[in-house]
Amino acid sequence: MNFIVSELIKKKRDGFALSDDELHFLVQGFADGSIPDYQITAWLMAVFFKGMTSAETLKLTYEMKNSGEQLHWRNLDPKLKTGFFVDKHSTGGVGDKVSLILAPLVASLGFTTPSKIPLKIPMMSGRGLGFTGGTVDKLQSISGFNMFLNDHEKVHALVESGYCMMAQNESLCPADRKLYSLRDVTATIESLPLITGSIVSKKWAAGVENILYDVKCGSAAFMTDFESAKTLAESLVAVSKNAGMKAKAIITRMDEPLGALIGNALEVKESVYILKNEFPNENMRRLAMPLRDLCVDFAVEMALLADPTLSQTGLRESCYANLENGHAWELFEKNLFTQGATSDWWNQLELAPILVELKAPRDGYIQKIDSRHIGIAGIEIKAGRRKSEDTIDAAVGFEMLCAPGDSIKKGDTMVLCHLRDKAQFDLIQDNFIEAITIADKPIKHHANLRLAEVT
């Protein structure tokens, strides 16, 4: 069917919903280049102002999913026939290395629990932008590690380690990628149906059957207030379900950094500490515990999505056991080598040569560590990207030595900065002064990261 594009834009502009045929025509025409970008961006801005019905959002998601390659795991190999395919998606935050820990942890449940359901985690990740790091960037600091796998390699990793770590490639949802790059330069990123369509279409195309969304909420999150985080969570879950997936969302706090280490290679280190249950010191163990608990929480949720008859208590116990008995770590190592990591990767992990200590300016109690300012500091030293074409430095980052609620003495080291050169410290010092608030009196810090769930 043929439509007049300006009439479709007008329809949305005036607050009406486009039909399935109209949206098919629009996305298809955009993807094949027959509709010019300048009409698409006018439509995007109209969507920003007028939103989309759930039927429109589903159809947009469907069309973007359909625009490229689609993975069907069960058909790839007989060994995957009986798998339960689960994935997690996070909207991103500072220090968010959850995927690195979560994938082997969930896989370990599939290999070892009494339930024996074969959980398979085909984890598809992107690069980072802004102060929210990307799993691809973190894993690429591991020497030899390859995230661009062919079908055979994907199957091999899934069978051997229960999971595979894939970078989004050009053939998956090309219409979404093209649309995103237009949204990026036309102030149309912050639109609920467009965000939803972009996220869900990729999970759908990646053949995920069970999806847990980690919708972060707070100063360094995409959604800074609870209400917008909740609205996004509801939209993601609703469209995923309409697309035939089992889905749940957890809204988690992103006010302070997640864990003790921030920066690409440093975050790989912290993941390994948690998976091996071996920390360089007790302070770092203490600071890593909320992150570890969140990973366990998510792993239980993902297993329950796949099989709601499993025991929540049993799963939780298995998670903690598998983090202590080395099962999760074994799968992590197995995955690394299956995906090409060199045997000396740990020693090859490059950390920046200069260490600068950030000292407490006075006695008091840490009231707040604002992850937004720390994320911005991360961009300044190239731990993160300002623009998508920027290159990053995997070796730099921050080691937090304190957390909200801690008492502190003047001169104590609060943060250890891993830098390329001392001049970088001048760039970021003000960000840390902004980020860390010291109070006179003891404060009660609310440590729980989980705020709410949407089913």
**Which SS3 state, helix, strand or coil, does residue 13 take?**
helix
Q: How far is the CB of 310 from a second copy (least distance, A)?
A: 46
Active-site choice (12, 97, 138, 202): 202
In the sheet that holds 261-262, the strands lie side by side as 261-262, 397-400, 413-419, 354-359
**Which SS3 state, helix, strand or coil, does residue 432 take?**
helix
Identify whether 441 is a catalytic site residue: no
Closest CA to 171 of 92, 65, 272: 65
Please report, to the nearest 10 degrees, the dihedral formed by the alpha carbons of residues 65, 67, 69, 71 taken in order: 20
Is residue 198 within the footprint of a second copy (CB under 8 A)?
A: no
Other residues' Cβ atoms within 10 Å of the Cβ of residue 16: 12
Size of the site for a second copy (CB under 8 A): 24
CA–CA distance, 21 with 19 (Å, rounded to integer): 5
CA distances (Å), origin 24, targets 1, 35, 104:
9, 12, 39
Is residue 85 within the footprint of a second copy (CB under 8 A)?
A: no
Per-residue tokens: 351: 């950390």
Is residue 367 within the footprint of a second copy (CB under 8 A)?
A: no
Active-site choice (65, 89, 216, 253): 89
- The amino acid that residue 360 corresponds to is A
Identify whether 201 is a catalytic site residue: no
Out of 27, 46, 233, 417, point to the residue binding a second copy (CB under 8 A): 46
Q: How far is the CB of 4 from a second copy (least distance, A)?
A: 9
Out of 23, 26, 27, 44, point to the residue binding a second copy (CB under 8 A): 44
Is residue 105 within the footprint of a second copy (CB under 8 A)?
A: no
CA–CA distance, 364 with 440 (Å, rounded to integer): 5
Give yes or no for a contact between 370 and 256, defined as CB atoms under 8 angstroms apart: yes
Identify whether 202 is a catalytic site residue: yes
Identify whether 198 is a catalytic site residue: yes
Residues 7-26 that bind a second copy (CB under 8 A): 7, 9-10, 13
Positive or negative, the CA dihedral 334, 337, 343, 344 is: negative
Out of 66, 70, 169, 186, point to the residue binding a second copy (CB under 8 A): 186
Active-site choice (108, 115, 141, 198): 198
Q: Contact region for a second copy (CB under 8 A) — 26-34, 166-174, 182-190, 222-230?
A: 182-190
Active-site choice (97, 183, 248, 372): 183
Nearer to a second copy, 39 or 283 (CB): 39
Lookup result for tokens 């390859």: 146
Q: Contact region for a second copy (CB under 8 A) — 36-44, 123-131, 284-292, 349-357?
A: 36-44
Identify whether 176 is a catalytic site residue: yes
Q: How far is the CB of 38 from a second copy (least distance, A)?
A: 4
Is residue 6 within the footprint of a second copy (CB under 8 A)?
A: yes
CA 158 to chain CA centroid, nearest Å: 20
Q: Nearest 5 degrees, angle CA 151-CA 156-CA 157?
A: 100
Is residue 1 within the footprint of a second copy (CB under 8 A)?
A: no
**Which SS3 state, helix, strand or coil, does residue 132 take?**
strand
Applying CB under 8 A, which residues contact a second copy? 5-7, 9-10, 13, 36-42, 44-46, 48-49, 182, 184-188
Give the catalytic positions in this structure: 89, 176, 183, 198, 202
